Amino acid sequence: MQTLPDRKAWLQGASANCSSPPHLVAHPRRLVLLGAPGVGKGTQAEMLASKLGACHLSTGDIFRAAKGMQECLQTPALTAALQFMRRGDLVPDETVLSLVSERVKCLKCDGGFLLDGFPRTVAQAEALESLLTKHRIPLDAVVSYDLRIDRIVARLSGRRTCSTCKAVFHVEALPPKIPGICDHCGGGLYQREDDRPESVRVRMQAYETSTAPLADFYQRRGLLRSISAEGTPEEICQRTLEALQAPK
C-alpha cells in the first residue's frame, strides 16, 4: 500500500506545505463524498485515497487539528470557527467556505482529492461550485453512500466507547473480549448519548433534511453516483470504483 500525502497544507492552512509530494497519478480524481453518520464514509475515504492516490480532505480534520494549534498560527476564519464550536453552535456556511478557500491549493493538487464534510447544504455546494469554476478545477463525481435508516440505527446504537482511552467497539461487529471492558486499557465501556437509537433517528432526520436537496443539486448536474453501503468495506469500495469507471 502506498504512503499517503501528509495533508499538512490542508490541516494547517495556506502558509503550510505538505512534506510529501503528491503521487504521480495519470488521471487524478476530484470527488465529493456524501453519507450519513454510520454508513462507513470515513473508512471508504481512506480506502479510496489509497487506491486512487488522492488526498482525503476532511473539514472535520481541520477542526480537530485546530484545537491543538497555537493561536498565533490560526487564521481569522479558523479562530471564528473554533469560537462557534466552543459555544456549541454550528459553524456558518461562510466560515466553512473561508476555511476551504484558504486551502484552495489542496484542491489544485495533482494527485486529486476526496472532499469529505463539505458541502453539507445546497448553499455550500453553490459556493464550492463557484470556487472550483474560478480556479478551473473540474469536479469528476459526487459519491453518495446510502443505507437504510434501520441499518444505520443498528450500527450506531451498537457502538460502545471506552471511558478512558476512547477506543470504540461494537456489540456485534467488534465486541470486546470481556463484555463492558476495553481490550486496550481495561477501562469501562459506555454508550454515548448520541449513539442511542432515539438520538440516531433525530440525527438522521436532520441529515436527510439537508442532504436530500444536496443530492438533487448534484443529480441535476450529472455528477451524483449513489452507492449502496451494504456489505464489507472491500465490497463497497469495489462498488465505488466500478461506478466511477462507468460512463456518465
| C-alpha radius of gyration, the chain, whole number | 19
Q: Residue 166: which domain range?
A: 155-195
What is the pLDDT, as a whole number, of residue 19? 63
Residue 66, in any domain of the structure: yes
166 plus 223 within the same structural domain: no
Q: What is the 3-state secondary structure (H, E, C) of 154-169?
A: HHHHCEEEECCCCCEE
Residue 120, in any domain of the structure: yes
143 plus 160 within the same structural domain: no
Residue 3, in any domain of the structure: no
Least confident of 9-13, 56-60, 81-85: 9-13
The count of domains in the chain is: 2
Q: What is the tens place of the pLDDT at every residue in 236-245?
A: 999 999 999 8
pLDDT reading at 203 higher than 60:
yes
96 plus 142 within the same structural domain: yes
Residue 200, in any domain of the structure: no
223 plus 132 within the same structural domain: yes
128 plus 217 within the same structural domain: yes
Give the active site residues: 41, 120, 159, 192, 203
Minimal CA–CA distance to 185: which of 195, 174, 196, 177? 177
pLDDT reading at 20 higher than 80:
no
What is the pLDDT, as a whole number, of residue 76? 80
Mean pLDDT of the region 47-76: 81
179 plus 114 within the same structural domain: no
Q: What is the tens place of the pLDDT at every residue in 65-121?
A: 777 777 666 778 888 888 888 887 778 888 889 889 988 888 988 889 999 989 988
pLDDT band at 21 (very low <50, low <70, confident <90, very high): low
The CATH number given to whatever domain includes residue 215 is 3.40.50.300
CB atoms within 10 A of CB 85: 14
Residue 108, in any domain of the structure: yes
210 plus 160 within the same structural domain: no
The percentage of residues in the chain with a pLDDT greater than 70, rounded to a whole number, is: 90
Cell readout for 143 is 459519491
Torsion of CA 199, 205, 206, 209, to 10 degrees: 180
Residue 98, in any domain of the structure: yes
- What are residue 159's DSSP bridge partners? 170
pLDDT reading at 61 higher than 80:
yes
Mean pLDDT of the region 22-44: 84
138 plus 241 within the same structural domain: yes
pLDDT band at 1 (very low <50, low <70, confident <90, very high): very low
Alpha-carbon distance 166 to 220, whole Å? 41
Alpha-carbon distance 164 to 162, whole Å? 5
Residue 164, in any domain of the structure: yes
